[in-house]
Amino acid sequence: MKGYGVAELSVERIGTHEFLGRNDRGAIVRIGRAGADGSFSPGELLQIATAGCTAVTTEELITRRAGDDARMVATVTHERAEGGREYQRLEVLLRADLDFLDEDTRRRVIRAMRTAVERQCTVSRTVERGAQVGLTIVPA
């Protein structure tokens, strides 16, 4: 389903357990099973989307104070029940050099960053609320 301002997305099988994800802007990502060389598993893509959304959402708050060359790294880990087929928790760790700020300003910036993610990060909000997923299968 294509919405206003949303890229057309597709995933095409290119080999055994090998797929290419594409958008209409020319970006490509390799998708495969967990542990496959040179590709992301679907679960890894969900995790990296969560970390990426956090980074994109907070970037302006960081660069406004630290400058356009500010370094930031968002990493993500997951928890899954033994034998479980879904993640129980995703934990994003955002590292950004804010040491040059005084303690009060740093606290306010971190609070603003957290609020921005809670209000604007589409991926985190979707995961937290549990979006429904529909499936239509069309014989080729």
For the stretch 52-84, pLDDT in tens is: 999 999 999 999 988 999 999 999 999 998 888
Mean pLDDT of the chain: 93
pLDDT interval class at 1 (50, 70, 90): very low
Using N-to-C axis directions, what is the helix angle for 42-66 and 122-129, rounded to 10°?
140
CA atoms of 121 and 117, how far apart (whole Å): 5
Other beta carbons less than 10 A from residue 7's beta carbon: 12
| CATH number, span 41-129 | 3.30.300.20
Q: Percent of the chain scored above 70 by pLDDT? A: 96
pLDDT interval class at 140 (50, 70, 90): confident
CA atoms of 11 and 40, how far apart (whole Å): 13
pLDDT of 7: 74
